[in-house]
């Protein structure tokens, strides 16, 4: 499952996951298998596939909307156009603003 090393202090949520997805492809997984490792497989493992892991009616619908197809190149997961989290839409400009705020706090 992708992202399962989250508690590691040297793993940065989001950024490290993109690295992990790319490494999995470099080591023989197809992009489709890698995307399943980050979505449906964890939901199945946690016995939560009735609510998570796929886009369906009555499922939790947090989404990352991409500018390019990750099945063609897994690095396209980094080309984030927007995020839908908890029913709220965050366009790229708003995501960049949040990242800049976090970087500012880290420099303090």
Burial label, 89 (beta-carbon count in 10 A; 0-12, 13-18, 19+): exposed
The answer as to whether 7 is a domain residue is: no
Tell me the per-residue pLDDT of 72-96, one tens digit each, with 9 for 90 and over. Answer: 999 999 999 999 998 899 999 999 9
pLDDT at residue number 55: 85
Q: What is the pLDDT of residues 31-59, one digit of tens each?
A: 999 999 998 998 899 899 888 888 888 88
Give the residue-averaged pLDDT of 5-14: 68
Task: Give a yes or no: residue 40 inside a domain.
Answer: yes
Domain carrying residue 65: 15-107
Domain count of the fold of the chain: 1
Taking the model in full, what pTM does it have?
0.81
pLDDT band of residue 67 (cuts 50, 70, 90) is: very high
* Rounded Cα distance, 81 and 92, in Å: 5
Structure tokens at 43: 């939901």
C-alpha distances out from residue 27 to 21, 44, 73, 93, Å: 10, 23, 14, 34
**Phi, psi of 44, deg, nearest 5:** -65, -45
């Amino acid at each position: 499952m992708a992202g399962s090393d989250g508690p590691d202090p040297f793993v940065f949520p989001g950024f490290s996951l993109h690295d992990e997805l790319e490494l999995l492809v470099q080591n023989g997984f197809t992009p489709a298998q890698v995307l399943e490792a980050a979505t449906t497989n964890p939901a199945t493992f946690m016995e939560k596939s009735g609510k998570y892991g796929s886009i369906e009616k009555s499922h939790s619908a947090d989404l990352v909307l991409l500018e390019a197809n990750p099945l063609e190149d897994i690095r396209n997961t980094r080309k984030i156009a927007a995020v839908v989290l908890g029913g709220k839409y965050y366009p790229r400009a708003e995501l960049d603003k949040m990242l800049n705020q976090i970087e500012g706090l880290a420099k303090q």
